[in-house]
Amino acid sequence: MRKISGKNGWICLILILAGIVLGGFLGNLMPDSFLNFGQTFGLTSPVVLDLGILSITFAFTIRITVASIIGVVVAVLCYRFI
């Protein structure tokens, strides 16, 4: 029989996403700081799919900064202590 643990994968995912968002917010508050140093990758210009009666625009960009990495580390540490 499988033992049911109090930890849940969804909680970990939510904490990591919250760490990314809060870290990015912190980096934007201090634009000249080393916390805002990072790399952006993804689709630089949107891709448009025109089907005649329907037009769909796809765009996806990820920005990884030092502050967001620190946010993820703090989120994982918080998850370990839950």
Q: Please give the average per-residue pLDDT across 10-22, as a whole number.
A: 92
Sorted by where each begins, the domain ranges of the chain are: 9-80
Q: Are 19 and 71 in contact (CB under 8 A)?
A: yes
Residues 22-61 pLDDT 10s: 998 988 898 888 988 999 999 888 999 999 999 999 999 9
Give the distance between the most distant pair of CA atoms in the chain. 56
- Comparing CA positions, the residue from 32, 39, 29 lying closest to residue 66 is 39
Residues 39, 30: Cα–Cα separation, whole Å: 16
